[in-house]
A and B are shown apart, each in its own frame.
Chain A
Amino acid sequence: MAKQLKTIKSDFPILDQKVNDEPLVYLDNAATTQKPKAVVEALDHYYYTDNSNVHRGVHTLAERATEQFEAARQKIADFINAPAKKNILFTRGTTQGLNWIAASYGEANVHEGDEIVISYMEHHSNLVPWQQLALEKKAVLKYIKMNDDGTLDMADAKQQITDKTKIVSIAHVSNVLGVVNPIKELAAIAHEHGAIMVGDGAQSTPHMAVDVQDLDVDFYAFSGHKMLGPTGIGVLYGKTEILEAMAPIEFGGEMIDFVDLYQSSWKELPWKFEAGTPDISGAIGLGAAVDYLNEIGMDNIQQHEQDIVNYVLPKLLAIEDLEVYGPADPSKHTGVIAFNLKGLHPHDLATALDMEGVAVRAGHHCAQPLMKYLAVPATARASFYLYNDLQDADRLVDAILAAKEFFKHGSI
């Protein structure tokens, strides 16, 4: 690999700071990731030298902006092995992508009595759009159960997905349990029953090589900011024939072919879905993020994170009174690790870790049905990325032990 993982931290200036007088250990990557200099410089360069609107105007800056914007789309198509750049729609993020599918494909294809199948571990963004669609259409929303270790119960998946099922939508990687769901297998089951398969790639695309054609998903949504890119840009991949048949969700400039007083026609893919001026700088920034990730290699990133999990998960499991959610087997667990210290609310734990310079998330992680399923009000969550290392893992473990000690003995 061209870049050594051990020198990567220096590409992220934000990580070189003290928080509460302690060197920052950033472990909230499932929420959002930090940006390398290359991404911030790409934004700078675009705004300082090329800023212009895209797909219109004949002047040089407009041409440059359009060329870079569309080049970013191609990079992203290649990144997830989409057949072409017309399969890549720019969105605001995963949430918007999933909402678009529900609002357009769902609106046209789900009818009374039909089924939509999701799982108990879905993020609200892959749950509420389907729940609302089901309510509106009088369709049935069904949930696939989980095994005791937090992995998806595939025997139950085969029960839940039936000939009445129109849409199956599942997270590729859980944002709480850290498990990888067998999307390819689920897609095969969905297709056997004539349903489409939607993959929520928010927590997978940043951390592993994703091949949408191999997975055979019909749609796949992910967010730029969770993979080193800027906030406000995301991607919805769709199969060509489905996108071509699908009606646009928003109307306006950029997406029209010809407008008459009483009717209009749409541009071809992908532009018919992108009404209005898009997030040009966001797309270019995401393109730079993809370049950066490619330089390191997604397989290397996945291995690096697996090494950290192999190291830290047994250490966390060994802490008495620390409950760790998801599989205990590190090979089944990605770098998203949720946990609770017995007798202490995760919010209190997160504050203590913050005092030690360790940034983790505490809360329901936009997965309230999952919290209910686990019978906890909330959890703390550490999530690792390519710039984290074993020292960061040690800092997490030490901070949890210090917090445990602090709250055991009280203070003052």
Chain B
Amino acid sequence: MGLSRLDNLYRQVILDHSEHPHHHGTLDGATSDIELRNPTCGDVLQLQLELEDDKIKDIAFSGEGCTISQASASMMTDAVLGKTVAQADNMVEVFSELIVGDKEVNTDILEDAAVLEGVKQFPARIKCAMLAWKALHKALASDDHTAEIGELHSHDSKEGD
């Protein structure tokens, strides 16, 4: 089989996002600040949100990670910027269903992130794609949206939480 199958994983748009990630950095006016780690590969992601009137007014991420996790974070920030908390949470669910679920989902709302569907064929890499979305979900779910540090576990990827 060789590396040709990798084309399904490393689509050009994914490589572009990884190389030139959008919303990479930190926010001055962050209202949420979360760090999520993937202990199996050492990836670490810091996600900051600025929420105003129930909307994601600004978003930024930083940290260390592989091509898939960096691209996924970049795509996620593009997709959820300007959305309400409920809309963003719904996008997390749609993305999760796309990557680990077996239902057909309408992926239009995910924008570029829909291309990550190819990760499905690489079970070992699902956690990489999920990391940023998990972080977003945790940030939106926590009461004060601040300073949480979490770890992503292998069994997490199929749960809503």
Tell which of B1, B40, B44 touches A20, judged by Cβ atoms closer than 8 Å: B1
Contact A364 B42 (CB under 8 A): yes
Residues of A within 8 A of B64 (CB): 377
Residues of A within 8 A of B9 (CB): 351
Contact B42 A363 (CB under 8 A): yes
**Residue A208 lies at the interface, judged by CB distance under 8 Å to chain B:** no
Residues of B within 8 A of A410 (CB): 10, 12, 15
Name A335-394 residues within 8 Å CB distance of B: 344-348, 351-352, 354-356, 362-364, 368, 371, 377-378
Residues of B within 8 A of A355 (CB): 1-3, 5-6
Contact B1 A411 (CB under 8 A): no
Interchain nearest-CB distance for B19 vs A (Å): 9
Interchain nearest-CB distance for A358 vs B (Å): 11
**Residue A402 lies at the interface, judged by CB distance under 8 Å to chain B:** yes
Contact B68 A348 (CB under 8 A): yes
**Residue A58 lies at the interface, judged by CB distance under 8 Å to chain B:** no
Contact B42 A348 (CB under 8 A): no
Q: A368-B42, A377-B42 are in contact. Are A348 and B2 (CB under 8 A)?
A: no
Q: A410-B15, A411-B12 are in contact. Are A352 and B42 (CB under 8 A)?
A: no
Complex Cα–Cα for A346 and B68 (A):
12
Interchain nearest-CB distance for B153 vs A (Å): 15
Q: Which one of B22-30, B75-83, B88-96, B122-130 contacts A?
A: B122-130
Complex Cα–Cα for A346 and B40 (A):
12
**Residue A406 lies at the interface, judged by CB distance under 8 Å to chain B:** yes
Contact B125 A402 (CB under 8 A): no
Chain B CB within 10 A, most for which of A347, A362, A364, A368: A347
**Residue B7 lies at the interface, judged by CB distance under 8 Å to chain A:** yes
Cross-chain pair count, CB within 8 angstroms: 71
- Closest B residue by C-beta to A353: B3
Tell which of B10, B122, B124 touches A407, judged by Cβ atoms closer than 8 Å: B10
Residues of A within 8 A of B65 (CB): 345, 377
- Closest A residue by C-beta to B65: A345
Contact A345 B66 (CB under 8 A): yes
Residues of A within 8 A of B42 (CB): 363-364, 368, 371, 377-378
Contact A348 B1 (CB under 8 A): no
Interchain nearest-CB distance for A360 vs B (Å): 12
Residues of B within 8 A of A348 (CB): 10, 66-68
Residues of A within 8 A of B66 (CB): 345-348
Contact B41 A363 (CB under 8 A): yes
Residues of A within 8 A of B2 (CB): 21-22, 355-356, 402
Contact B67 A345 (CB under 8 A): yes
Interchain nearest-CB distance for A407 vs B (Å): 7
Known: A347-B66, A356-B2, A412-B7. 9 other contacts (CB 8 A): A347-B68, A355-B5, A363-B42, A371-B42, A377-B43, A378-B41, A402-B3, A407-B10, A411-B6
A-B contact pairs, 21 of them (CB 8 A): A20-B1, A21-B2, A22-B1, A345-B67, A351-B9, A351-B122, A355-B1, A355-B3, A363-B40, A363-B41, A363-B42, A364-B41, A377-B44, A378-B42, A402-B2, A406-B3, A407-B10, A410-B10, A410-B12, A411-B12, A412-B11
Task: Please list the 6 inter-chain residue pairs (A to B) with the smallest Cβ-Cβ separation, ordered nearest first.
Answer: A345-B66, A21-B1, A347-B66, A378-B42, A364-B42, A377-B64
